[in-house]
């Protein structure tokens, strides 16, 4: 006979809480190892999510809260063997009651201290306000030491524009396309003309070889051979002309793609879809600024402010597009502007992350000494 309920002990029981008589030592250790692995996994995940960019930044506290709750559950189940089974009701109620008491004590204490702080009369003492250093603010524009203009090589109508001002680009990246339908048709026609001319050349060569063979057997084929040589020469010249025309059409087809000449950023864009362009235009379609480790910042200053600045002095500036960041640069020089009314300040700043792009507006802070 078997005791009733002997086989029901496996239901609603925490891992590691089975009867010791039917559980080996390894099974008990295995349960704790699983709990340790899960606990370490949740801990590593918490540190990873706190510094990772894979999830939305405002949702990081929610993710950490979920991991904390999961961590609590692992400890309760795998280490404390706490479940909702009939033999764990008292333990569950004790845990819930203890949690309630701790929350009441901590929450009540915080509420009491906050209430006393808000209602207790205090003497407010006048705090001296420290003197704030005054600064002169100057506005300038980020520039690079070199720029590369790109103009149209053929006439046509712009079909699409894929690059805009401030956009980072890679060398040979497509930035605009000229309508190439006529050139594509010209390439197809040139290809057919070349094939026809080459076929005629092959036929002429075969006819010439046959005539030369007959001329060796009889002297009456000499004039025929000369005539076939003239025909072959003309067809060969026609095939060469067709090849040149095809190569020119293919070159123009390549020129319909306006690409970036180097890695960098788009400094200016002077083209739009539907605009007619020509190779002799004075205004380039794009101006590219190569990536550089340093940039220059130019700003106008009153003569009185510029007079106390010296080359090599370090200044702090901020950029409108990069809020919350400050940059440092050294004064490269102070050049007097025309008229003598203002001076031009030139600052050179490092740009290791390529965050400073040409055309960005910057504000320089110059302390008043």
Tell the residue number behind the tokens 């970036």, with chain if given: 260
- Cα separations in angstroms, 47 against 37, 66, 71: 16, 13, 13
pLDDT (0 to 100) of residue 176: 92
Token pair of 261 as six digits: 């000449």
Residue 135 backbone phi and psi in degrees, to 5: -130, 145
Whether 78 maps to a domain, the answer reads yes
Q: Do 25 and 107 lie in a common domain?
A: yes
Neighbouring C-beta atoms of residue 102, cutoff 10 Å: 10
pLDDT score, position 8: 47
Query: pLDDT tens for residues 239-289?
Result: 899 899 889 888 888 888 999 888 878 878 888 999 899 887 788 888 887
**Spatial CB neighbours of 123, under 8 Å, sequence gap ≥ 6:** none
Answer whether residue 70 is part of any domain: yes
The length of the chain is: 369
Residue 352, in any domain of the structure: no
Nearest of 357, 359, 351 to residue 294 by alpha carbon: 351
- 111 and 24 fall within a common domain: yes
**pLDDT value of position 339:** 57
Contacts for 348 with CB less than 8 Å, ≥ 6 apart: 294, 295, 296, 297, 329, 330, 332
Tokens of 247: 């190569």
H runs (alpha helix) in the chain: 25-51, 60-74, 89-119, 181-217, 222-254, 303-306
Which pLDDT does position 40 carry in this prediction? 92
* Local structure of residue 313 (DSSP, 8 states): -
**Taking every pair of C-alpha atoms in the chain, what is the biggest distance, in angstroms?**
135
d(CA 191, CA 249): 10
Q: Is residue 83 part of a domain?
A: yes
52 domain residue, yes or no: yes
Q: In what order do the strands lie in the sheet with 168-169?
A: 148-150, 286-290, 264-269, 168-169
- Among candidate residues 199, 224, 246, the one where a domain is terminated: 246
| Structural domain of 57 | 20-115
Q: What is the pLDDT of residue 240?
A: 92
Whether 38 is covered by a domain: the verdict is yes
Report the pLDDT value the prediction gives residue 6, as an integer from 0 to 100. Answer: 46
Task: Encode pLDDT of 143-188 as tens digits.
Answer: 776 778 888 888 889 999 999 887 888 888 899 999 988 888 888 9
Residues 104 and 24 in one domain: yes
pLDDT tens for the chain, residues 1 to 369: 444 444 444 445 555 455 544 556 777 788 889 989 999 999 998 888 888 777 777 788 888 888 888 888 888 888 877 766 666 777 777 777 778 888 888 888 888 888 888 777 654 444 554 545 566 778 888 777 677 888 888 888 999 999 988 788 888 889 999 998 888 888 899 899 989 989 998 998 888 888 888 777 766 666 777 888 888 888 889 989 989 988 988 888 888 899 988 887 887 888 899 989 988 778 888 888 776 677 888 888 777 777 778 788 888 888 887 877 888 888 888 777 555 567 778 888 887 666 777 777 888 888 776
Q: How many domains is the chain built from?
A: 2
Q: 99 with 185, same domain?
A: no
Burial track 247-261 (b if 16+ CB lie within 10 A, e otherwise): eebeebbebbebbbe
Domain boundary among 201, 217, 246: 246
d(CA 93, CA 149): 77
Q: Which residue has the tokens 């949740």?
A: 42
Q: What is the rounded CA–CA span in Å between residue 208 and residue 200?
A: 12
Is residue 13, in this structure, part of any structural domain at all? Answer: no
- In degrees, rounded to 5, the angle at the alpha carbon of residue 276 between the alpha carbons of residues 275 and 278 is 135
Give the pLDDT of residue 5. 45
Query: Is 122 within the bounds of a domain?
Result: no
pLDDT recorded at residue 111: 87
Q: What does the alpha-carbon distance between residue 305 and residue 98 come to, in Å, rounded to a whole number?
A: 68
Tell which of 246, 274, 294 closes a domain.
Answer: 246
């Amino acid at each position: 006979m078997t005791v009733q309920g002997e086989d029901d002990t496996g239901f609603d029981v925490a891992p590691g809480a089975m009867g010791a008589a039917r559980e080996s030592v390894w099974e008990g250790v295995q349960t704790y190892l699983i709990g340790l692995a899960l606990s370490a996994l949740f801990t590593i995940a918490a540190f990873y999510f706190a510094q990772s960019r894979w999830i939305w930044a405002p949702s990081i506290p929610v993710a950490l809260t979920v991991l904390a709750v999961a961590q609590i559950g692992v400890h309760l189940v795998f280490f404390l063997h706490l479940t909702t089974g009939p033999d764990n009701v008292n333990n569950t109620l004790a845990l819930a009651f203890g949690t309630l008491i701790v929350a009441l004590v901590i929450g009540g204490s915080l509420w009491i201290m906050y209430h006393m702080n808000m209602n207790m009369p205090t003497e407010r003492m006048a705090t001296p306000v420290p003197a704030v250093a005054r600064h002169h603010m100057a506005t300038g524009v980020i520039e690079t030491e070199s720029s590369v203009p790109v103009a149209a090589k053929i006439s046509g109508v712009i079909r699409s524009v894929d690059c805009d001002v401030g956009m980072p680009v890679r060398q040979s990246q497509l930035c605009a396309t000229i309508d190439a339908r006529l050139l594509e048709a010209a390439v197809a026609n040139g290809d057919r003309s070349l094939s026809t001319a080459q076929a005629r050349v092959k036929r002429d060569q075969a006819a010439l070889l046959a005539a030369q063979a007959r001329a060796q057997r009889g002297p009456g084929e000499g004039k025929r051979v000369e005539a076939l040589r003239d025909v072959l020469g003309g067809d060969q010249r026609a095939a060469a002309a067709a090849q040149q025309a095809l190569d020119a059409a293919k070159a123009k087809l390549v020129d319909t793609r306006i690409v970036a000449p180097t890695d960098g950023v788009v400094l200016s864009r002077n083209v739009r879809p539907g605009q007619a362009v020509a190779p002799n235009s004075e205004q380039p379609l794009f101006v590219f600024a190569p990536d550089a480790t340093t940039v220059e910042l130019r700003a106008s200053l009153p003569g009185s402010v510029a007079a106390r600045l010296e080359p090599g002095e370090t200044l702090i500036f901020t950029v409108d597009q990069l809020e919350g960041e400050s940059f440092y640069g050294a004064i490269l020089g102070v050049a007097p502007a025309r008229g003598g009314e203002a001076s031009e300040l030139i600052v050179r700043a490092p740009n290791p992350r390529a965050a400073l792009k040409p055309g960005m507006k910057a504000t320089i802070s110059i302390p008043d000494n």
